Structure 1
Amino acid sequence: MQKIILLAVGLAISTGLAKAQAPTAPTQNANTRFEQLGPMLPTPNTFRTAAGAPGRDYFQNRADYDIKAELDDANQRIIGSETVTYHNNSTDELRFIWLQLDQNLFAKGSIGSVTRTGGINESGMSFGQLQNLTSVRERSSQQATDKYGYKITAVKDAKSGTALKYTINQTMMRIDLPTPLKPGASYAFNVDWNYYITEYYGRSGYELFPKDGNSNYFIAHWFPRLCAYNDVNGWQNKQFLGQGEFTLIFGNYKVAITVPSDHIVGSTGECQNYKQVLSATQQKRLAQAATSKTPVVIVTQAEAEAAEKAKPADVKGKKTWIYKADNVRDFAFASSRKFIWDAMQTDVYGDGRKIWSMSFYSKEGNPLWGQYSTRVVEHTLKSYGNRTIKYPYPVAISCHATAGGGMEYPMISFNGGRPEADGTYSEQTKAGMIGVIIHEVGHNFFPMIVNSDERQWTWMDEGLNTFCQYLAEKEWDYNFPSRRGEPQYITDYMKSDKSVLSPIMTSSDNVISLGPNAYAKPATALNILRETVMGRELFDYAFKEYARRWAFKSPEPADFFRTLEDASGVDLDWFWKGWFYGVEPVDQDLVEVDWYQVDSGNPETTKAAARAEAKRRAGTISKQRDAATQAETVVAKDSTMKDFYNGYDPYAVTDADRKKYEDYLATLTPDERKALETSAGTNLYTLSLKNKGGVPMPVIVRMQFEDGTDSVARFPAEIWRFNDVSIKKVIATSKKVTQWTLDPFYEIADIDTENNSFPRQSQPTRFQLFKQRQSPFATQGQNPMQQQRRTNQPPATQGSGRN
């Protein structure tokens, strides 16, 4: 309820405002919330500075690979051998080295499979769930045979050929070195291996197309790879359980990939022998693509359809594709006789350096993939590069892998998004495909260049990448239906019971609800920092500085937190505590607003206000009804009953009133008189606010005035520093406010908007009369393109794809 109270004039005005800001008794948690992170972050040292930058003693080891591998299409198997040269750039002597054997996730008895949990409810189980359970059982200790996982056939010294002692522990392999590896020294060794390829499970594998009997292969975490050794963890040899991804080191790669002669290969790196593996026509198209600003088809759909008529067992010949990649942390490739391939080489940043954007996809991806994929790749490189560092590699590839999801590797990604068999698609399918391509190509920047520890901190690559994806989607299409990034999209997750919430700062394998926690929440947090807490200019500079400092290096969370503060001059420790270390939500409550007006003492205004108030109070229901008979009163009929007071106006301004006011003004100093004059008629509103959620956030309040205009006041989160539970804030306006609204632009992820307005504004609850009816907007199983075709109306716009 609004109130009007007349205040005594004088210096008490400023004194009263000062008291409103005074700290209260220390019964709240504000000091803890706004104190520095302190011991929650590692102590700065010569490896990692207090500013968040690499220190003078920062190091990272490297591994160079020379790999020869063959894809056995008939048996769906990889056979490989590698020579690895490991460079010890640390100050430590290493007596052994650790390698990752990620395919052992699928081996019998793997910790990743046997620790999966779940149950069957009373409603039963779908065929899909049963099929998934069978797949899990096939790879568990209950299965009699053990088809999957690595078969290591040799581990030898590269020079002498002497067998090396090694120990396999689940998804990790330790090689004992013949002599300790000194700081600054290198060691070369050979590993031979093979394994059966699993069905595509979201990160790698094959997708079988029953109609033509062929498979698309997406081959990743396919060779024994060196673990990271650094100043934070020593060896990062945490087991691969399936959720926490890969912690890797940089190196140079030379890889020879032997595949059936009719396969097309897309890979990390640059192909060194296109003349040997492509036809003359395909080479000519590739040369055309090198100067084209739009995608050029290298392998057409007609050529791919002709090739896919062959069966794996029928193809006898082989081809070896040779690739070279420098300063990458991993290597992956895709191979299929079904692939259509388009490409263009463009000057992405306008600096004269051209980068290949490519796509590989089977006909099942058209028309969407032919129309959009390669253009989206180029757009992603441009958008991310402008916010971080320019893309340093020569090529970026998008491969069509199954209907949904995606996975990233240096220079190549495997992405979902598939139209219906008739070539139509929903808007959701299109947006999902574009979004996942942006996301997975964007991973080239996080973590393929800014090389964070994915096994430990999923959010450092997924969260930062999802944030950049959100910005790139808006730059692709102003009306793009982004799923993550906007604060209001995370509120349902943040209002969940705390028992099912994990702090963002939770190690990857232990995170509950990985998508909301490691992707959406950190992306939202960064968007809030950019738009509300820091502002775009400060945030963009600091974020770019983080990418510059840690490009081709391995940052930790503290390095990110410290860099953003160091480069912006904004204290964000309270924000990291609330958003990254806690699970409390944001919920601000505008409890009440009290309205005051300053009484200047001027009789012209004070008596006029008193007259208006008296008239308002006199407008009772009785007075309104008695007005019809007021001429019948005794005094109205008999003038002798009137005296002085019947004509007296208590609200008339007299000379005595004016003299008294002039005498008062004479007692004021010039500054006091100026303050009185400027504040006369000012509306003072005291807002009573509660922080019900726990996380202190900036207070943004919209004022709607009685003249139809509005204004927004913004107060930083430090407004809660003396009391993080409840505060009062005085706002002065020259106009009367009719409506107050907290967080009017949905900036802070407030989980309850019902308590954000004063006076409260209720929202209607909708219900249907008589019976439940089919929504008029329901598609009834068909996407809008199919519905339009059914009614014989040509679509307004539709990509034709390439044939």
Structure 2
Amino acid sequence: MKKILLSFLVLCASHSVFAQGGIYNNNKFHQLQELWPTPNEYRNGSGAPGHSYWQQKVDYVIKVELNDENQSITGTETITYHNNSPDALTYVWLQLDQNIYAENSDAHLTQTNGKVENMSFDALDKMINNKSKLGYQIKSVKDTGGKALPFTINKTMMRVDLPQQLKPGASFSFSVDWFNYINDSRKAGGRGAMEYFAEDGNYIYEMAQWFPRLCVYDDVNGWQNKQFLGTGEFALEFGDYKVSITVPADHIIVATGTLQNPAQVLTKKQIDLLEQAKSSSKKPVIIVSQDEATAKEKSHAKEKKTWVFQGDNVRDFAWASSRKFIWDAMGVNVNGKTVMAMSAYPKEGNPLWERYSTQAIAHTLEVYSRYTFDYPYPYAISVNGPVGGMEYPMICFNGPRPEKDGTYSADTKYGLISVVIHEVGHNFFPMIVNSDERQWSWMDEGLNTFLQYLSEQEWEQNYPSRRGEPKNIVQYMSSDKSTIEPIMSNSESIIQFGNNAYGKPATALNILRETVMGRELFDYSFKEYAKRWKFKHPQPADFFRTMEDASSVDLDWFWRGWFYGTDPVDIAIKNVSWYKIDSQNPDVEKTAQRKKQQESPKTVSDQRNQANIKQYRVDRFPELQDFYNKYNALDVTENDRKKYQSISNNLSDGEKKLLSSSTNVYLIDFENVGGLVMPVILQMQYEDGTNEVVRIPAEIWRKNNEKVSKMFITNKPVKQFVLDPFQETADINQANNYYPEQAVASQFQLFKQQQRTKQPNLMQTERGSRSASTTAPSQNNK
């Protein structure tokens, strides 16, 4: 019997430990070590690269020709793969991103559809006539001796089998010949595309994901060869590029890298103007004017020119080509080094682009370099064309344009400035701090959107930033949880992609900087992360660990709540108890009680009795009155004073001072309604009109994640307590942030007030009969 009982007790004890473990794992302050990869020689526990960190290198020599007649490109590339890993490789994987447009692609086959009541003609035509010519036509894959190499195409991925093992430290070169048509932005969208201008019969080509590119092979994933479904962007290796691009002779090309043969493709005037632009740090210099670009729109040259670009230590290569391009440039001083900021745009982009694009590039380089590292490349370029916003090393594609009359709304103006800042900013994340976009969109989009917010706020006071401010994420955080995933979700499985990958992480970092860590600690740690992983491949844990390592702030609770969870912030004041110190001096305390009694509102019955009862019985029969009818407990007696004197004689001077002080003691009960633990920011609004803010770290919740009580001692009485008075924590319910309660607009009303609506084009409205050049003069027309 004893043995049976002992076994039962052991079983109960085991269950208890398991249960406690479950509770402990649900604790908001439980450390995240078991979720993060174990530190090793490649990535250490501080979040820095380990002493044996390695990454591959891939070099490209590419020759490509643009056919302006049928909108296609034909190319050949020689790829040299340097195996810096400790592993012997038997094959390599390449990305064939253009194959996403094929009708048998996973992106097409897995696309779901909603209601069809309002389907457009174009959408229906696309579904019926989905025989796309787009996608790579791989002509050959050969080694340097011309021998064919076996290859297998699996939708957007191609495996090339090596003739023998590629051992650690060795290199292998092979060539790929291909052809593909360029997608039309109006029909297929895309990150790289062409745009046709019917008015003059010309095209703008923005070429991205235009050549077969090597996948990343690293210590975390092996080959990152996840199929391209459209959302998860690109994981790529660094390398050196030499790219020769043949286009019609009247085209202008801007591209990743440095132009190697300017004398063969540019006029002397253009070369001189580019040299002049290097020292023009306040105003862009026009290299190709609007008049010159307009004149070329009619030429349609049959001759061709080959532009040669060299890009070193870059992870990708993109370019844009058109005879429509206006071109301007200016030099930007980045810590003593001149970087050329340049823009290329058609006349349809003016006067907006001429005024703002290159200046926005310069601003981005200055601000981002201050928060991370000095921009290392010689150029940063913004191009206006069919792509609304997309980034590549040294070059980005951006969409906003003014109306045909040259006017534009405030939305269009700030839309252009913001998208240029964002896309140029991507040079830092992920073009240099080279995270895995196919897996973790937030590591480039979120970090970049955060820095975009900081840059926007330095552009002008009260800049209308869409993302970054905590109040702007409230509507998303309070939405249906079935439509929300943790930030730490794969790029392809996110429903509200903009909020999840851009808005929420940017807001989280802003809160981390302003409310949790403080600017000094945050800025140092963030810069440390950027410097540690410059030109390397970081993973999420490397960021999380570095932020903690460089600041001495335990942030596991923050990562758990903001990045691994979907709970919103909703902290409430449930109750306030107010205590005053009893001085025990009867002349003080009884006088205060009498005053309180006199000021207390009478009940309804008391009020009506006083009006209706003409005479009480004891007044009609005085003999009914005795001692108690005349006794008032609030009258001070000699016995009261003697008792107080006796107590006072036994107190020290310090104790007497405390006893006679007017200190107020408030015991406040807080409740974590939303589930996401955060610091408690409490404003005390005093009766004399002054106020005080107390900031309590999130660790106040460490032993009870749901309810805590905190005592506050003040010298002045508090009129009202307010939680999160500056709306800095993204608290989704302000109604429970006040004590005493205060009426606030409902969450639905707040959303309606905050929701951005399309602004009218006030420039167009106000200008009346004035010309666009009067309202917005163009340098090109001077």
Q: Which residue of 2 aligns with 1:268?
A: 256
Match runs of 1:112-131 below 5 Å: 112-121=107-116, 124-127=117-120, 130-131=121-122
Instruction: Specify whether residues 703 and 120 from structure 1 end up closer, same or farther in structure 2 by C-alpha distance, changes over 3 A only.
Output: same
- How big is the shift at 1:760? 2.0
The answer to whether the 8 Å contact 2:582/2:659 transfers is: no
Shift of 1:28: 7.5
Q: Which residue of 2 aligns with 1:578?
A: 561
SS in 2 for 1:85: strand
- Structure 1 stretch 569-578 or stretch 547-556: which is displaced more? 569-578
Match of 2:275 among 287, 298, 304: 287
Q: Which residue of 1 aligns with 2:10?
A: none
Partner of 2:32: 37
Deviation, structure 1 residue 537 = 1.0
- Is 1:302 the counterpart of 2:309 in the alignment? no
* 2:372 equivalent among 388, 408, 419: 388
Cα distance in 1 for partners of 2:317, 2:758 equals 44
Q: For 1:515-559, what per-residue CA distance to the aligned partner results, in whole angstroms no more than 9, with x for missing partners?
A: 111110111111110111111111111111110110000000111
Distance verdict in 2 for CA 1:793–1:450, change over 3 Å? closer
Amino acid of the structure 2 residue aligned with 1:783: N
Normalising by the residue count of structure 2, what TM-score does the alignment of the two structures yield?
A: 0.90
For the Cα contact (< 8 Å) 1:788–1:795, is it kept in 2?
A: no
Matches for 1:319-334 after TM superposition, within 5 Å: 319-334=305-320
Alpha-carbon separation, structure 2, partners of 1:483 and 1:781:
14
Q: Deviations over 1:737-777 (max 9, x none)?
A: 2222211111111112222222222246899xxxxxxx9xx
The equivalent position to 1:540 in structure 2, one of 523, 527, 532, is 523
Counterpart check, 1:359 vs 2:343: yes
SS in 1 for 2:28: helix
Q: Residue in 1 aligned with 2:9?
A: none
C-alpha deviation, 1:600, in angstroms: 2.5
Gap regions ≥5 residues in structure 2: 1-19
Structure-to-structure mapping, 1:580-599, within 5 angstroms: 580-599=563-582
Aligned residue runs from structure 1 range 306-317, under 5 A:
306-311=295-300, 315-317=301-303
Q: Which amino acid aligns with 1:478?
A: Q
Q: Partner of 1:8 in structure 2? A: none
1:176 equivalent among 132, 154, 161: 161
> Which of 235, 242, 245 does residue 247 from structure 1 map onto?
235
1:468-495 Cα deviation digits (max 9, x unpaired): 0011000111211111111111111111
Partner residue, 2:138: 152
| C-alpha separation in 2, matches of 1:117 and 1:618 | 65
**Cα RMSD over matched residues?**
3.0
Which residue among 177, 194, 205 is the counterpart of 2:193?
205
* Correspondence for 1:344: 330
Q: What is the rounded CA distance, in whole Å, between the counterparts of 1:568 and 1:184 in structure 2? A: 37
Match of 2:72 in 1: 77
CA contact (8 A) 2:59 2:240 kept: yes
Structure 1 residues 137 and 540, CA gap change in structure 2 (3 angstroms): farther
Q: How big is each residue's C-alpha offset from its partner over 1:65-84, in whole Å with a ceiling of 9 and x where there is no partner?
A: 11111111111111111111
Does 1:565 find its partner at 2:565?
no
Return the alpha-carbon distance in structure 2 between the equivalents of residues 572 and 780 of structure 1: 39
Q: Percent identity?
A: 56
Q: What does residue 660 of structure 1 align with?
A: 643
Paired letter, 1:304: A
CA distance in 2 between counterparts of 1:795 and 1:605 reads 78
Instruction: Call closer, same or farther: CA 1:471–1:654 in 2, change over 3 Å.
Output: same
Q: CA shift at 1:672, angstroms?
A: 5.2
The equivalent of 1:164 in structure 2 is 149
Question: What is the CA distance between 1:202 and its match in structure 2?
Answer: 4.2
Distance between the aligned counterparts of 1:720 and 1:547, measured in 2? 31
Match of 1:20 in 2: none
Q: CA deviation at 1:730?
A: 1.9
| Contact kept? 1:268, 1:410, Cα under 8 Å | yes
- 1:553 paired with 2:536, answer yes
Q: Distance in 1 between matches of 2:600 and 2:135?
A: 87
C-alpha displacement at 1:608, in angstroms? 2.0
* CA spacing shift, 1:508–1:779, aligned 2, 3 Å: closer
Aligned counterparts of 2:45 and 2:112: Cα–Cα separation in 1: 41
Letter in 1 for 2:177: D
Shift in Å at residue 376 of structure 1? 0.4
Q: Partner of 2:416: helix, strand, or coil?
A: helix
Alignment partners' CA distance in 1, 2:258 and 2:719: 65
Distance 1:618 1:78, change over 3 A: closer
My pick for the range that moved more, 641-650 or 377-386, is 641-650
Counterparts of 2:569 and 2:547, CA distance in 1: 22
Equivalents in 1 of 2:615, 2:96: separation in Å? 105
SS of structure 2 residue aligned to 1:65: strand
- In structure 2, the CA distance between the partners of 1:791 and 1:779, relative to structure 1 (3 Å rule), is farther
Counterpart of 2:168, as a letter, is P
Pair 1:499–1:646, CA change in 2 (3 A): closer
- Determine whether 1:689 maps to 2:670: yes
CA drift of 1:592 comes to 2.3
**Contact 1:69 1:79 (8 Å CA) reproduced:** yes
Q: Is the Cα–Cα contact under 8 Å of residues 368 and 799 in structure 1 kept in the other structure?
A: no
- Per the alignment, residue 222 of structure 1 pairs with 210
Alignment of 1:635-714 (within 5 A): 651=634, 653=636, 656-668=639-651, 675-676=658-659, 680-714=661-695
Aligned to 1:785: 763
Letter in structure 1 aligned against 2:414: A
Q: Distance in 1 between matches of 2:248 and 2:606?
A: 100
Residue 91 of structure 1 aligns to a residue whose secondary structure is coil
Deviation, structure 1 residue 125:
2.5
Corresponding residue SS for 1:543:
helix
How many Å apart are 1:620 and its aligned residue? 6.0
How do 1:735-754 and structure 2 match up within 5 A? Answer: 735-754=716-735
Partner residue, 2:475: 492
- CA distance in structure 2 between the partners assigned to 1:708 and 1:263 by the alignment: 68
Alpha-carbon distance in structure 1 between the residues aligned to 2:25 and 2:72: 60
Give the whole-Å Cα distance in 2 for the aligned partners of 1:793 and 1:335: 31
> 1:451 offset after TM fit, Å?
0.2
Paired residues of 2:183 and 2:190 also in contact (CA < 8 A): no
1:722 Cα deviation from its structure 2 partner = 1.9
Does the 8 A contact of 2:407 with 2:772 survive in 1?
no
Deviation at 1:110, TM superposition (A): 1.1
Q: 2-side partners of 1:462 and 1:131: how far apart?
A: 31
- Equivalent residue for 2:450, pick from 467, 471, 481: 467
SS at the partner of 2:736?
coil
Partner residue of 1:187? 172
User: Per-residue deviation at 1:790?
Assistant: 3.0
Measure how far apart 1:604 and its partner are. 3.5
Letter of the structure 2 residue corresponding to residue 425 of structure 1? Y
Could you list the runs of 5+ residues in structure 1 that have no partner in the other structure?
Answer: 1-24, 768-774
CA contact (8 A) 2:767 2:775 kept: no
CA distance in 1, matches of 2:746, 2:570: 22
Cα deviations by residue, 1:33-53 (Å, 9 ceiling, x for unpaired): 111012111111111111111
CA distance in 2, matches of 1:794, 1:154: 53
Distance (whole Å) between structure 2 residues aligned to residue 793 and residue 634 of structure 1: 93
Change (3 A) 1:653 1:385: same
Q: Deviations over 1:326-370 (max 9, x none)?
A: 1100000000000000001131x3x32111000000011111100
Within the candidate set 473, 481, 488, 1:505 is matched to 488
SS at match of 2:337: coil
Deviations 1:398-457 (A, max 9, x none): 00123x730000000001111111111100011111100000000000000000000000
- Name the structure 2 match of 1:19: none
For the 8 Å contact 1:28–1:724, the answer to whether it is kept is: no
Report the Cα distance in structure 1 between the residues aligned to 2:759 and 2:635, rounded to whole angstroms.
77
CA distance in 2, matches of 1:735, 1:553: 56
Alignment pair present for 1:237 and 2:225: yes
Aligned residues: 752
Distance 1:223 1:500 in 2: 36
Report the CA distance shift for 1:27/1:453 in structure 2 as closer, same or farther (over 3 A). Answer: closer
- Report the alpha carbon displacement of residue 659 of structure 1 after superposing the two structures with TM: 3.9
**What is the distance in 2 between the residues matched to 1:102 and 1:469?**
28
User: Given the superposition, is the C-alpha separation of residues 55 and 618 from structure 1 closer, same or farther in structure 2, using an over 3 Å criterion?
Assistant: closer
Q: Does the CA-based 8 Å contact 1:29-1:723 persist in structure 2?
A: no
